[in-house]
Copies of this chain bind each other. A is one copy, B any other.
Amino acid sequence: MKVYLDNAATTAMSKEVLEEMLPFFSEVYGNPSSVHSFGQASKNALDTARARVATALGAKPSEIIFTGGGTEADNAAILGVAQKLQKKGKHIITTAIEHHAVLHACEKLEKEGFTVTYLPVDEFGLVTASQVEQAIKDDTILVTIMYANNEVGTIMPISEIGAVCNARGILFHTDAVQAVGHIHIDVVEQNIDLLSLSAHKLHGPKGVGALYMKKGTNLPPFIYGGAQEFKRRAGTENVAGIVGLGKAIELATASIDENAKKQTAMRDRLIDGILKNIPEVKLNGHPTKRLPNNVNVSIKYIEGESILLMLDINGIAASSGSACTSGSLDPSHVLLALGLSHETAHGSVRLTLSEYNTYEEIDYTIKTLETITQRLRAMSPLYNPTTKSFSKDENTHSH
Instruction: Answer yes or no: A117 CB below 8 A from chain B CBs.
Output: no
Partner of A225, one of B13, B75, B327: B75
Complex contact A235–B318 (CB within 8 A): no
Complex contact B33–A205 (CB within 8 A): no
Copies of this chain, tallied across the complex: 2
Among A11, A35, A308, A319, the one with the most B-chain Cβ atoms within 10 Å of its Cβ is: A35
Complex contact B36–A317 (CB within 8 A): yes
Within 8 A of B (CB), among A172-216: 198, 200, 205-208
Quote the shortest CB–CB distance from A318 to chain B (angstroms): 7
Complex contact B235–A69 (CB within 8 A): yes
Instruction: Answer yes or no: A128 CB below 8 A from chain B CBs.
Output: no
Counting contact residues on chain A (CB < 8 A from B), the size range is: 35 or more
Question: For A15, what are the chain B residues with a Cβ–Cβ distance below 8 Å?
Answer: 26
Quote the shortest CB–CB distance from A328 to chain B (angstroms): 9
Instruction: Answer yes or no: A99 CB below 8 A from chain B CBs.
Output: yes
Complex contact B33–A9 (CB within 8 A): yes
> CA separation between A107 and B225, bound complex, in Å?
10
> CA separation between A200 and B75, bound complex, in Å?
25
Quote the shortest CB–CB distance from A177 to chain B (angstroms): 10
> CA separation between A39 and B11, bound complex, in Å?
11
Question: For A384, what are the chain B residues with a Cβ–Cβ distance below 8 Å?
Answer: none
Q: List 16 interface pairs A-B (beta carbons < 8 Å), by A numbering.
A: A6-B36, A10-B34, A30-B317, A31-B206, A35-B319, A35-B325, A36-B312, A37-B317, A39-B317, A68-B223, A75-B223, A75-B224, A206-B239, A206-B241, A207-B235, A208-B238
Q: Which 8 residue pairs are nearest across A and B when measured between Cβ atoms?
A: A207-B238, A68-B68, A71-B235, A101-B225, A104-B224, A71-B225, A10-B31, A69-B235
| A interface residues with partner B (beta carbon < 8 Å) | 4, 6, 9-15, 17-18, 21, 25-27, 29-31, 33-39, 67-72, 74-75, 99-101, 104-105, 107-108, 198, 200, 205-208, 223-227, 234-242, 305, 308-309, 311-312, 316-320, 324-327
- Given A34-B319, A104-B225, A207-B207, 17 more contacts at CB 8 Å? A6-B34, A10-B30, A13-B29, A17-B25, A21-B25, A35-B324, A36-B312, A67-B68, A69-B238, A71-B223, A75-B223, A99-B225, A100-B226, A100-B234, A101-B226, A104-B224, A206-B236
